[in-house]
């Protein structure tokens, strides 16, 4: 690992650290160390990082703000690339927004709304980055990234970087082609439209108030834990089963929203996983419904 770290530092790809606790980089504040942690400071930094990783045949994965992510207490083997503020460039050309993977989707929604452009109101309360939103086809309030993305700049596991059109992204509910191929979004181009500025801002404020009143963002959490098993809603099924408040260690199903698990202070990934399994078993036994996670569960592999 020392040799790999030295090569990355010499290439000046950005921040490089060994055994970095991922609890510092996930919204749940949970997760063991990454063998090598890299925060590239540019797209060129990403390319150079991948050249080193490929040369050493090192396993790798990418993260953004760490929302919708549960990292093993044992951490992640290999390299973790964090696409953060250094990859958060923004260009607005007419109705097309070109934005870096590390850009906060909440911040982007705010910026676009102030320009009097519509299309991102739904994203005003989604606590992640553009890269993660494309990966997950993030959505809320009846809309989703698939509705506005024109193309995405994708880093594939073999190190290829390609611009991929919307129709090639295989979007569906909280799903994209990237989840099957382990591709990572580096940049995205989104199409928005002119609208009434006051109406856009009012719509965003309405969504923000709803999230603030119904979701427990006062404690570390990762957003919705389960996908909605349509036509049912995960939170409603969990509440109907009497599971709100169910606790294992310092992890607890929120009293405010059944589809959120909060970290009360020192929660471990094992605690959250125990709750997830209990919910899945309970809902399946009572209603015959399979509860699939929306959060990505990352286990350490040797």
Q: Is the pLDDT of residue 85 over 90?
A: no
Give me 289's structure tokens.
């419904």
Contacts of 58 (CB under 8 A, 6+ apart): 4, 36, 52, 78, 79
Coil, strand or helix: which one is 272? Answer: helix
Question: What's the rounded Cα separation, in Å, for the pair 98 and 149?
Answer: 10
- In the predicted structure, residue 302 carries a pLDDT above the cut 70: no
pLDDT number for residue 86: 85
Mean predicted confidence (pLDDT) in 119-146: 90
pLDDT at residue 204, as a whole number: 85
- Checking if the pLDDT of 72 tops 90, the result is yes
CATH 3.50.50.60 fits 216-298, yes or no: no
| Arithmetic mean of pLDDT, 91-110 | 93
Indicate the fold that domain 88-213 takes in CATH: 3.30.465
- Structure tokens that stand for 198 in this block: 């006051």
Residue 38 has pLDDT above 60, yes or no: yes
Tell me: pLDDT of 129 over 70: yes
Pair of tokens at residue 290: 């399979």
Average pLDDT score over the chain = 93
pLDDT of 177 reads 95
Provide the residue count of the chain.
302
Region 146-162: mean pLDDT is: 91
User: Is residue 301 over pLDDT 80?
Assistant: no
Round to whole Å and give the CA distance between 146 and 15: 32
Domain ranges within the chain, ordered by starting residue: 2-85, 88-213, 216-298
Of the segments 71-75, 174-178, 182-186, which one has the largest average pLDDT value? 71-75
pLDDT at residue number 164: 97
How many C-alpha atoms does 70 have within 13 Å on its Cβ side? 25
Give the pLDDT confidence score for residue 250 in this predicted structure: 98
pLDDT band of 140, cuts 50, 70, 90 = confident
| Residue 272: alpha-carbon gap to chain centroid | 17
Burial of 119 (0-12, 13-18, 19+ CB in 10 A): buried
Contact 269, 251 (CB under 8 A): no
This prediction's pTM:
0.87
Q: Quick one: what percent of the chain has pLDDT higher than 90?
A: 76
Q: Where do we find the tokens 């990292």?
A: 71
User: Which positions are annotated as active-site residues?
Assistant: 174, 224, 294
DSSP state of 94: T
Nearby residues of 37 by Cβ (< 8 Å), 6 or more positions away:
15, 16, 17, 18, 20, 22, 25, 79, 80, 82
pLDDT one-digit tens code per residue, 211-224 = 888 889 889 999 89
* Surface-to-core class of residue 11, CB atoms within 10 Å of its CB (0-12 exposed, 13-18 middle, 19+ buried): middle
- 148 to 4, 123, 229, 233, 267: CA distances (angstroms): 39, 11, 24, 25, 37
Instruction: Please state which CATH number belongs to domain 2-85.
Output: 3.30.43.10
- pLDDT bucket at 209, cuts 50 / 70 / 90: confident
Whether 88-213 shares its CATH topology with 216-298 is answered no
User: Mean pLDDT over residues 13-24, rounded?
Assistant: 96
DSSP annotation of 226 reads B
């Amino acid at each position: 690992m020392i040799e790999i770290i030295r090569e990355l530092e010499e290439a000046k790809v950005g921040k490089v650290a060994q055994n970095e606790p991922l609890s510092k980089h996930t919204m749940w504040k949970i997760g063991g160390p990454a063998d090598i942690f890299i925060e590239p400071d540019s797209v060129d930094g990403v390319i150079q990082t991948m050249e080193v990783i490929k040369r050493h045949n090192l396993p790798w994965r990418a993260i953004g703000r760490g929302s919708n992510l549960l990292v093993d207490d044992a951490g992640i083997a290999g390299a973790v690339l964090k696409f953060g503020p250094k990859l958060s460039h923004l260009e607005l050309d007419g109705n097309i927004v070109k934005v870096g993977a590390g850009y906060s989707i909440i911040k982007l929604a705010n910026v676009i709304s102030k320009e009097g452009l519509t299309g991102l109101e739904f994203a005003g309360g989604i606590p992640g980055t553009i890269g993660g939103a494309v990966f997950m086809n993030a959505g809320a309030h009846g809309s989703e990234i698939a509705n506005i993305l024109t193309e995405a700049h994708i880093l594939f596991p073999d190190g290829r970087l390609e611009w991929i059109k919307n129709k090639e992204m295989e979007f569906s509910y909280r799903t994209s082609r990237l989840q099957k191929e382990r591709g990572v979004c580096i940049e995205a181009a989104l199409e928005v439209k002119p609208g009434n500025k006051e109406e856009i801002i009012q719509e965003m404020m309405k969504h923000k108030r709803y999230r603030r009143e119904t979701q427990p963002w006062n404690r570390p959490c990762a957003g919705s834990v389960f996908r909605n098993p349509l036509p049912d809603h995960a939170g409603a099924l969990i509440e109907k089963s009497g599971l709100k408040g169910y606790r294992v260690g310092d992890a607890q199903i929120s009293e405010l929203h059944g589809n959120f698990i909060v970290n009360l202070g020192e929660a471990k990934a094992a605690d959250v996983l125990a709750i997830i399994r209990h919910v899945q078993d309970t809902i399946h036994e009572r209603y015959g419904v399979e509860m699939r996670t929306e959060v990505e569960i990352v286990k350490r592999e040797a």
